[in-house]
Each structure stands twice: as C-alpha cells, then as structure tokens.
Amino acid sequence: MKNLILPKEYCTKLTLRETQRAIKIIKDNFQKKLARELNLDRVTAPVIVTKASGINDDLNGVERKVEFDTKECNETVEIVQSLAKWKRMALYRYGYNVGEGIYTDMNAVRRDDKVDNVHSLFVDQWDWERVISREERNEEFLKETVRKIVRAAADTQDILCEEFPFLEKTIEREVFFITAQELEDMYPGFTDKEREDAIVKEHKTVFLMQIGKVLKSGKPHDGRAPDYDDWTLNGDILVWNSVLGRSLEISSMGIRVDKDSLRAQLEERDALDRMKYDYHKMIDDETLPLTIGGGIGQSRLCMQMLGRAHIGEVQVAVWPEQMREECSENGIFLL
C-alpha cells in the first residue's frame, strides 16, 4: 500500500504474550510518573458528548465526526475526537487550583484519519490538563513542562529495559527546542514532514514549537484548531524511530488560548461563529481557568519503546485487508 512502510528483515523481539506484558509495564508506570511530574489526578472522561455543546475537538476543522441520535436523549451526540476542550471545563467544574491538574485515558474515533504505520481510526491517549497562572503563560514554562514529560517517558523506558534487557532505549532525555519558522528557514526546500525527519534524526528528541501560525511560506507547518492551543505557545514532542527511519510524534500539547488569543485565532480562521458556544464564552469572560495541556499517544509510546514497525502491533483496530496481507508477508503481525 502507498502509505505503508515495510522495514527490511524486520522481526519482533517479544512474543505476543510478552508484548502484552510489556504494554502493561509501560502504561502502568508512565501514567504514574506523568501524574507525579505534573501533579495530576486521574479522572474519568466521556466517550460521547452532545453536538450542541461545541466541546468536541475540531482537530483541523475539516474532519467528520461520528455522530448519532439516541433513543432517550432528544439531541445528536458525537464520539469524541479528543478531549482538549472538555478537560478545561472539567478543571473549572471540579474546582482545581493553580498547579493542580488531571489526566485521563482517552479513547476516540477519528473516521477520516488515514491508516498507516502510525495512524489508526482508533486513538488512545493520556489526555492531561493543568491550571496555570497568568505569569506561567510563557515559553520557558512550556519548555520545562516538556522536559518533565520526556523525563517520565525515559524513566519508564528504564523500567521496561530492566524487565526486557534486550530492548533498545529509544527515547533520549535531552530535548532540542525549535520553532516551526526556524525549521522552515533551516530546510526551505523540504516538505513539512521532511523537515521534521531531518531535525529529529539529528537531535533524537525534539519539541517543535509554534504550530498553527502561518509561516513565511504562506501556510502553517501543520493544522491546529484555533480554539484550544495558543499557536505561539504550543508544539509537538517528536522522537526518532529507527525502525521506520523517520520521526514519530508522541505528543501534541500547549498552553491554551486566553480570551485575546482565542478571538485572534478564530478571526484568522474566519470562525468567530464559534463564540456562540458556552465553552468559548467562558474563555472570553475569563470564567474558565488558564491552563496547559495535551495528549500523549499510548500506542505510539508503546510502539516506540518496543521497537515495533506498526501501531497495529500494540493496539487492536480495523485495517484494510491489503494492509494486513502485506504486513503479514513482512513479519508484522497486526492484532
């Protein structure tokens, strides 16, 4: 298949049962370390929300959501695409203060996502959100939060390798920071993905900042919804995946919009009509707290630490039959 990478002489180092045990080690330990680093409580989260609430994540604004009516509720509901907006509302409703936050196991369906080695219709993340002060809405605070997340991942990797010493450590602790504009200036003739691969191959763990802003080339590095991340204070954590020979995004995160950046970004995207929703009104009148948050891919983190070539080796999902056949022929067993 066109988007499928099939590494030569690929073979897994763990049996299916060992893989399941390893996944549990990663998930159990990482969420504990993440919660400790960022002072987060685990909370339950929705799989469906009402369409009228406007609280579902719009991603790039063009993806179709899975929606349906219900027998008892007289309104249309949607399966979540992520919990970027819901988490901020939850912090307000649950009474969290500055320096405190939440995380949750988020399961979503993104029907329009392409499927390949690292993309699936099913999304599983640790979604997290933390209340911050006005003084913490700055780049240095963002960077320090990124370092804590990477430290939690690297510490988890150490525990995994104690149990399975033949696995390679694939997450470097030191983070290289660069903005999308700086990256475009460095590699002007490259595509967005080629730029990411070039910088991550060199530095191994990279935080690419300021995603969503229009660059000198006239387009943003990548799409971002205008109503949750502040495009000047966000970014992606990228790591080098030697199995696929490319960079792998394991987290998208950022300091969230305040009332000024919300209106500016909605206006830039010609989306001021969203101000009709309660969520947007509560940012505009400063009812909702200032926050930082993001999502960390559970299956992607497992895939990276276990040296797997396909996300379907660590999660159960639906794949095209041709993809299953080609993967099977090349030693890639999709669950």
Residue 37 near residue 152, CB atoms below 8 Å: yes
Catalytic member of 247, 252, 298, 299: 252
Residue of 265, 270, 262 lying closest to 291 (CA atoms)? 262
Q: Is there a catalytic annotation at residue 127?
A: no
CA distance 331 to 3: 17
Q: Is there a catalytic annotation at residue 42?
A: no
Catalytic member of 249, 278, 284, 326: 249
Catalytic member of 81, 82, 125, 304: 125
Eight-class DSSP state of 214:
B
Task: Give the C-alpha distances (Å, rounded to integers) separating 100 from 150, 293, 306, 308.
Answer: 19, 12, 32, 35
CA distance 131 to 96: 7
- Count the alpha carbons within 13 Å of 21 in the hemisphere toward its beta carbon: 10
Catalytic member of 58, 78, 88, 110: 110
Strands (E), 71-121: 77-79, 101-109
Residues near 249 by Cβ (< 8 Å), separated by ≥ 6?
118, 236, 237, 238, 297, 300
Residue 273: exposure state from Cβ atoms within 10 A (0-12, 13-18, ≥19): exposed
Q: Is there a catalytic annotation at residue 113?
A: no
Q: Is there a catalytic annotation at residue 53?
A: no
Catalytic member of 230, 236, 258, 313: 236
Q: Is there a catalytic annotation at residue 252?
A: yes
Residues near 43 by Cβ (< 8 Å), separated by ≥ 6?
90, 94, 102, 103, 104
Q: Is there a catalytic annotation at residue 286?
A: no
Catalytic residues: 57, 110, 125, 236, 249, 252
